[in-house]
Chain A
Amino acid sequence: DTEVTQTPKHLVMGMTNKKSLKCEQHMGHRAMYWYKQKAKKPPELMFVYSYEKLSINESVPSRFSPECPNSSLLNLHLHALQPEDSALYLCASSLQRDKPREQYFGPGTRLTVT
């Protein structure tokens, strides 16, 4: 089963709201990723978790806060976002960070900040 699930599919939030995105995989992968994707552009890496520890933060603003409660679950907590943060947020996983093979992507959460 090569499935990564993400909830919710769509999210509309105001600039003062706090919300969270959720990502889950049950493939035994030990590396998980958050990407941001604007329309007709490639995904931009935000965070990498390896064995539940944050290993890469691509200078992402602190209004985005990742969390990895266990090896199957990855959250992205959102607070005080700006309209320019509206995008498709993709989660991905791979077997291990330092033995890179393909990454498997979830369907994404389409976020609109009003």
Chain B
Amino acid sequence: AQTVTQSQPEMSVQEAETVTLSCTYDTSESNYYLFWYKQPPSRQMILVIRQEAYKQQNATENRFSVNFQKAAKSFSLKISDSQLGDTAMYFCAFTNAGGTSYGKLTFGQGTILTVHP
């Protein structure tokens, strides 16, 4: 079974600064996908960024980038130039790429990020 661990229940950052959220996972599979989802207070969960395990290059999406360390099973999210709208709960999630994946997403427990003005 896969597990996803987010060791930081809460974090805070000043507006315009950079923050990194940690995520580690455990799997015996070699091909899989990792995601970061963002869920603002009382708002919709949206996909922030996606990483395919067979791609060595770290994914980036504007101010969001990941540091994917496959051997260490680590998948951290870096948010640059933090904005007030980045305040949200962030979930790291894992899914297998095939075989008996069954389309299941395994989520971490989440990190509540607060951006202060």
Contacts and interface: CB of A to CB of B under 8 A. Distances in A.
Nearest to B97: A100
Nearest to B45: A105
Contacts, number: 59
Contacts of B96: 100
Contacts of A33: 103
A23 interface: no
Given A42-B110, A56-B104, A101-B33, A107 B44 contact: yes
Given A98-B98, A104-B47, A43 B107 contact: yes
B102 A42 contact: no
A55 interface: yes
A31 interface: yes
Nearest to B100: A98
A78 to B, nearest CB: 21
Interface residues of A, number: 26
Most chain B Cβ neighbours within 10 Å, of A45, A100, A106, A108: A100
A101 B50 contact: yes
Interface string A40-79: 1111010010100001100000000000000000000000
A106 B44 contact: yes
A101 B34 CA distance: 9
